[in-house]
Structure 1
């Protein structure tokens, strides 16, 4: 998966077991998921089927757990809390490996492993950073002449040579992590107005002159209370440990504090989580916004990519963790066709109304919505019940994403050999949204409706992507499109906005 395309995020799974705010989410290299909460627990999940691992929950903190992070090889998990403790856990057994504490015993807000697995750094409300030896389980040093406010963000450079830290006062500082003198190497007062919230290094680095000059360039992402995400270029001379930090790109679009930002493991994508209840995915090299992920009902505190960039987890103050499947819009356009909607078995002719609950579960897997199988089977949704489902019932079954509900309802009609409702036969879609407000390609509520030569209105990015793929016929009529001109449908856009403002959307 590469950047440069628009992306689509579809809800893959929801975890709703925590009883308080979800403050942090993290994936291991082997795709285990950790979730940390204000309910004082950390939980571990197998992302193959999202069952909770036998070692979970991890119980050891006395107050809010603010952060969780896996070691590079995924064998250890570090957590930190308002109780002033940093705990290392054995992921397989769930046992404590070590418990560290800042000398002041004040709240620890953030912790990060070094990429070489030797160290872990933590930031505290006592305005200091602490560097710990993972194997020796000792404090290596404390950066006491540090910030003038709580240290809420920190990260190691990809080669473990430097540490970046950010405070609630808005400043950024770079520290030597290799030679042990603990000297601040560079200082930026105004990293973010009103305060920094998080930081992350891209795994990609540029080494000058093949490494002979000792000069390295890193990319650093930061987020803050100013509603912004920023990309910084950090140039370091490893021979004399001099560092220059220069702002490169500012990402604007969020309408609230950006609580967290992180690069994908290959550095091709950047995700940011905000108080505006969205996660946004960006191209870090250009600043282009690739996707807006919406679904949480309260502030989003954290997000994380799997090692293959295919899944994105988000944690929120709504006590839920949502796992999103990330695909390119190009893939969606390639797959724009009616799915096969009946089970492939000997009794293929069997009417849907006579299916068992297990057959309904198999049908969900066939249409690539198997994540809802357990919910349908546990609620005894057999063929008769399936045929009577409506949009509200699907939400009650945990199918929250509009696209997933639309797909299920369309496939039910197809499997019953009934014609799917189209624009020409109905003014209202299955979920109650006026059908003309939905893009014919994505079947999602349009944000930027445009009219093509065929006279139909589409979401701009969807029809543009359709044509960019070399498709020269209308998605609706299959008649050739001789012109690529797209005309904004301002009247329809105004109607959609009125519909949303009325609280119906």
Structure 2
């Protein structure tokens, strides 16, 4: 079981990621800051907050020895901080200078992975602060990347749902393995067990086969467990899927001994799993908005969860023998072990939409090519809420996976709006968020690169940059065209 110990409330925007060292908890936020907390007292450290990013901070990670902290941001920068003093050690950027979404240290502390909106994974030498190589092949934003426990291989995934395995040591830049459909609606997180299979410190290394346990999560509301085989040939094989969340799963994390797995999702719930048995142990239900990140402390005593409710919650984990039967005790003393209370209940917002409303909505998503198909099939709001992948492909001709993702994510957003959900970053389609600030757009405009931005944000961007924040290609002109269709849809959904 787990008991809620602390609720940390210093951030003024969404908490996007958390990371533990042996002595410190770090969190990062849309408020452009990284905050550091003592594990002895859970008081904020004197060097906190760390302020070096100009925009939304997406990810933060301690090095394995806890001496360096890495963070990455919409500003296209990865900052390496001295974890003891808070001083900046280095600022790294992809060649494209695009948005960076994720960063991860190798278990041996020698390398750093970064991935972002340019669909590229970069491998850095931590000591020299120089780029070693890039891994290119993904066709969408990199959302997750991890090293295998012996630091020899890299696993990466993107918003399109594909997964790739790469060689981290010997200069091979082509993927060693490619799974095009790891998760049907995009991958949100990856984690590898530090103790399973060849990662077991007591295991005899079998030269004929090296295998690990990989966890993934995504927009299909699932956590999946995989056999990750890296020798004699790289491949993955699904062990099981773990149903339990009722919305997009944002993050997965293994405990330091590999005995438990945690996941956090848009349904506001943290689920703790037994990864070897493939079963749910219990749920943690104290966040009021989407759970964006989960992570365990190195000693296994604590689990931290961050949320769009702007808080970090620190949970005290108890003995494994209590996991299967003990209820969660929250700060109010409420016991909770069931998912029933948080399952979304569909409201009537969609039922009010006409066929024309649906077609206007498709145009705002940039999917106007499908308007005639939806109109011919009389897809109004009631029919829209019943759509699934098979119907989109076979009846409406939406063959492209990315287009299906946009439609299904958009439907989920409208449902959550019907439940009184507050619009936040990862809980709504990217099409409604400014790519620079990751905030809901109120005055969307189309720039020369074809992307829509909040007017004030893109105007501020071009004052210091002559290239697109999404493609890094030169902006051929400075004209901004109002995106009235998108503005109308956002106003209708969020009463702006």
Which residue does 1:319 correspond to in 2? 310
What is the CA–CA distance in structure 1 between the aligned matches of 2:71 and 2:143, rounded to whole Å? Answer: 14
Structural RMSD (CA): 2.6
Which residue does 1:66 correspond to in 2? 58
Which residue does 2:3 correspond to in 1? 10
1:183 Cα deviation (Å)?
A: 2.2
Equivalent position to 2:290, from 296, 299, 302: 299
Count of aligned positions? 338
Which stretch shifts more, 157-166 or 243-252? Answer: 243-252
- Change beyond 3 A, Cα 1:148–1:16: same
2:141 counterpart of 1:153 = no
Equivalent position to 1:230, from 221, 224, 227: 224
Which residue does 2:235 correspond to in 1? 244
What is the CA–CA distance in structure 1 between the aligned matches of 2:281 and 2:329, rounded to whole Å? Answer: 20
Larger Rg: 1
Equivalent position to 2:36, from 38, 44, 54: 44
Q: Is the 8 A contact 2:2 2:329 kept in 1?
A: no
Q: Is the 8 A contact 1:205 1:216 kept in 2?
A: no
What is the CA–CA distance in structure 2 between the aligned matches of 1:446 and 1:191, rounded to whole Å? Answer: 29
**What's the TM-score, normalizing by structure 2?**
0.65
**1:379-398 to 2 correspondences below 5 Å:** none
Which residue does 1:162 correspond to in 2? 153
1:178 Cα deviation (Å)?
A: 1.5
Q: Is the 8 A contact 2:286 2:330 kept in 1?
A: no
- Change beyond 3 A, Cα 1:135–1:243: same
Q: Give the match's secondary structure for 2:71.
A: strand
Q: Is the 8 A contact 2:284 2:336 kept in 1?
A: no
Which residue does 2:94 correspond to in 1? 102
1:11 Cα deviation (Å)?
A: 1.1
2:126 counterpart of 1:134 = yes
What is the CA–CA distance in structure 1 between the aligned matches of 2:325 and 2:235, rounded to whole Å? Answer: 45
Which residue does 2:77 correspond to in 1? 85
Q: Give the match's secondary structure for 1:78.
A: strand
Which residue does 1:486 correspond to in 2? none
Which residue does 2:117 correspond to in 1? 125
Equivalent position to 1:198, from 150, 165, 189: 189
- Change beyond 3 A, Cα 1:225–1:447: closer
Which residue does 2:335 correspond to in 1? 444
2:168 counterpart of 1:177 = yes
1:9 Cα deviation (Å)?
A: 2.2
Equivalent position to 2:260, from 255, 260, 269: 269
What is the CA–CA distance in structure 2 between the aligned matches of 1:324 and 1:93, rounded to whole Å? Answer: 27
What is the CA–CA distance in structure 1 between the aligned matches of 2:209 and 2:321, rounded to whole Å? Answer: 39
**What's the TM-score, normalizing by structure 1?**
0.64
Structure 2 residues without counterparts, runs of 5 or longer: 340-418, 420-496
**1:457-472 to 2 correspondences below 5 Å:** none
1:263 Cα deviation (Å)?
A: 0.6
Which residue does 1:27 correspond to in 2? 20
Which residue does 2:412 correspond to in 1? none
Q: Is the 8 A contact 1:167 1:196 kept in 2?
A: yes
Which stretch shifts more, 321-330 or 147-156? Answer: 321-330
- Change beyond 3 A, Cα 1:39–1:179: same
What is the CA–CA distance in structure 2 between the aligned matches of 1:306 and 1:333, rounded to whole Å? Answer: 21
What is the CA–CA distance in structure 1 between the aligned matches of 2:124 and 2:326, rounded to whole Å? Answer: 50
1:142 Cα deviation (Å)?
A: 1.2
Q: Is the 8 A contact 2:215 2:226 kept in 1?
A: yes
1:16 Cα deviation (Å)?
A: 0.5
What is the CA–CA distance in structure 2 between the aligned matches of 1:333 and 1:106, rounded to whole Å? Answer: 45
1:331 Cα deviation (Å)?
A: 5.4
1:335 Cα deviation (Å)?
A: 11
